[in-house]
């Protein structure tokens, strides 16, 4: 298993691909990706409504 600090430096997408990543970081990565997706969708809706 790699040290915890190794996983802290990974982007969310790459962290999700690491089978030995700590579960707490995997959960945080999923939340981060979901929020980013919601922000993109919100920006798309604003552009469409103009």
Q: What is the pLDDT of residues 4-50, one digit of tens each?
A: 999 999 999 999 999 999 999 999 999 999 999 999 988 877 777 66
Q: What are the structure tokens assigned to 23, written together? A: 């579960």
Q: Which of 25, 31, 23 is nearest to 10 (CA)?
A: 25
Given this model, what pLDDT does residue 50 score?
64
Fill in the DSSP letter of residue 43: H
Single pTM value for the model: 0.79
Task: Find out whether 18 and 29 touch, Cβ atoms under 8 Å.
Answer: no
Are 14 and 32 in contact by the 8 Å Cβ rule? The answer is: no
């Amino acid at each position: 298993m790699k040290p915890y600090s190794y996983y802290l430096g990974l982007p969310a997408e790459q962290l999700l691909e690491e089978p030995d990543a700590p579960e707490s970081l995997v959960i945080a990565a999923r939340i981060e990706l979901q929020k980013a997706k919601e922000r993109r969708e919100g920006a798309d809706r604003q552009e469409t409504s103009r």
